Amino acid sequence: MASNYQDRELSWLDFDTRVLELSADPTIPLLERLRFLAIFSSNLDEFFMVRVASIKAKIERGSTTINSAGYAPKELLDLVLKRTQVLVNIQAERFRDEIVPELRKEGIEFLKISEVTDSEREDLKNYYNNRIFPVLTPLVVDPSHPFPYISGLSLNIGVNIESSEDHDISFARVKVPSNLPRFIRTSDANKIRFVLIDDLIAEHLPELFPGVKLKDHFFFRVTRNQDLDLDEDETEDILETMEKELTRRRFGPPVRLEVDKVIHPEVLNELMDELQIEPHDVIKYDSPLDLRSLNQIADLDLPHLKYKPFRSDTAPELRDIDPASTDSYFAALRKGEILLHHPYQSFTSSVVRLLENAAQDPHVLAIKQTLYRTSGDSPIVEALIEAAEAGKQVLAVIEIRARFDEMANVRWARKLEEVGVHVVYGLMGLKTHAKLSLVVREEGDVLRRYCHVGTGNYNPKTARFYDDLGLLSADPVLGEDLSRLFNELSGHSTKHDYSRILVAPHSLRKSLIMRIQREIKNHLDGKPSWIRLKLNSLLDEEIIANLYEAAEAGVKVEIIVRGICSIQLNNQARRENIKVRSILGRFLEHSRIYYFRNDGAEDYFIGSADVMHRNLDRRVEALVRIDSEKHKEKLKSILDDSVSDVYSTWKLSEDNKWIRSTRSPEGENLVNFQDHFIDKHNRS
């Protein structure tokens, strides 16, 4: 019997396939298409470090359990690896056969060493001698030199050496320096010409191994398991334990070996033996490996090959505040709630300004803040430090388990603790993913609370290209809710009753199910019903089962999902009543909107939670109810546009394939969804 759910990992590969499709879109500027090739590679690295590593761990434990999509771990791993090989072949061919020729037409060339001029060759040799050679470390494998440790995601040159009586050596490894540019521009000032640092090092390999006969060389790269194994029940100091775990993670077992297609089979077998990699874990490439570095080329200052410049604007409600008066900002919030839509509206002039004003305002007594991911030079963290140094009570709930940002968050935690900020790490066993700010201000004889609840991280840099929503508010009801939630995060509470927010893991799941079931009942009673969800991921089987039930009862369900989507449109009722779209583009669609028709008394929520097991059961998440009719109309407009056939999006077809719509029935190009919002905000 066919499963009711699409597999999580295969659905993720569907998502990265959509990213790869953008690199072939002729309506996208050429350097931006190149960047999508780099994003595809970066996504795939993370997928292997975490998701494929998880599948392999199940296999190593001997698990044969069938998942909800109908796959045993080994069967799923085989499918993932075969599909990955197909995708990287497409990526390599697209770069070589489409992107490189188009770049050449624009005067940007990628050269082999044999193709450079004599003058360029001489300059490249000088560059190699002065900048590259001093940092290279050739490592041979012989009876006195064991096989070297290969760090995760490093690019390496494997060298096959002709053994002799004097040299019992057959293999050597040279690590390509990651702190030097991957693409080296030649000295021809009239042209934009690059050679790969890998090729330049390979050209000079005889100088690294003087007196030794080299047979050939190849490039390879190892991906290691980067999933953390943190047992909070066995630790007394989670910060110290995290630091130790991060050190251990550097030595995680290999989960993928990427190699040149030209590698000799015997050499590949030896490499697999040393790394303890199975044949199916090997992905073969046409050079170059690791196309993440194409970001270097995409960053070239060539505006005609990039998206038109876009600058976010200050939210209208905040445009007239007096920058010299902190009270002016808070007065704007007292006039009414402000719904923010980033990156079209500035994060810096709204959310960052809230915290900077709070740090400087003499009437502010306390600031409470969650931090999941932030920038390396975070003005938000600096504001918290300034506030603490000014004697204000400051609480920072830092999620040091935020994947791939653990070390940065550990450093921020140490820095904040040093200046007297109360730093906590949330609740045992639960990641704190909610996006919350709370400012307590003394105004006359009353204390007033100012809040921000958002869908995105407190990171001013990513806020420039992440589509997110946020609510600034002076509503006392919401302020009371956030006070209770922060007290739970820093202390202890057995009460989880809130007025305007839905909180995981205590109430969010049952609240969503209750609202879905209410739509079913309303529809069966002849009342208006409708469910619309805009998410990053939709995976949770229980919620999906309820959505299926709604569709089979006749409720219209519209879903906009950027990444994973486990829905299967495998019966007529679902095909008729469930519409699934995906939007990818210049900005990363990161906002979450939950809408329920509710017999005309419409429920709108925004917040941090996706519909996944981890969000509903293993994280602290918060959704805030939107009460303003004006703000509801704004969210309705976003949802309307997201499912409109006027704009270019991907649709989940009746046979559960993602099909991109780029042209109207009349053959004209559909409007780019995000360009529409840029134009809309420019006009306003």
Active site positions, annotated: 433
How many beta carbons lie within 10 A of that of residue 142, not counting itself? 14
Going by their DSSP bridges, the two strands 435-443 and 431-432 should be labelled as unpaired
Residue 79 corresponds to which tokens in the numbers above? 């499918």
Residue 629 corresponds to which tokens in the numbers above? 């009719």
User: Which residues pair with residue 473 across a beta bridge?
Assistant: 451
Say if residues 362 and 441 touch (Cβ distance below 8 Å): no
Tell me which DSSP letter residue 344 carries. T
Residue 228 corresponds to which tokens in the numbers above? 């953390």
CA distance 641 to 649: 10
Say if residues 580 and 562 touch (Cβ distance below 8 Å): no
User: Which residues pair with residue 622 across a beta bridge?
Assistant: 503
One-letter amino acid of 336:
G
Cα 392 to chain centroid distance, Å, stands at: 34
Burial-class residue 334 by CB neighbours within 10 Å (0-12, 13-18, 19+): exposed
Q: Indicate the Cα dihedral angle 271, 277, 283, 288, nearest 10°.
A: -40
Question: Tokens 């879903």 label which residue?
Answer: 559
The residue count of the chain comes to 684
How many beta carbons lie within 10 A of that of residue 495, not counting itself? 8
User: Which residues pair with residue 570 across a beta bridge?
Assistant: none
Q: Side-chain half-sphere of 341: how many Cα atoms within 13 Å?
A: 15
* Max intra-chain CA distance, the chain: 91
How many beta carbons lie within 10 A of that of residue 56, not counting itself? 21
CA angle 339, 342, 343 (to 5 degrees): 155
248-272 burial: b if 16+ Cβ within 10 Å, else e:
ebeebebbbbbbbeebeeebbebbb
CA distance 7 to 13: 10
318 phi, psi to nearest 5 deg: -110, 5
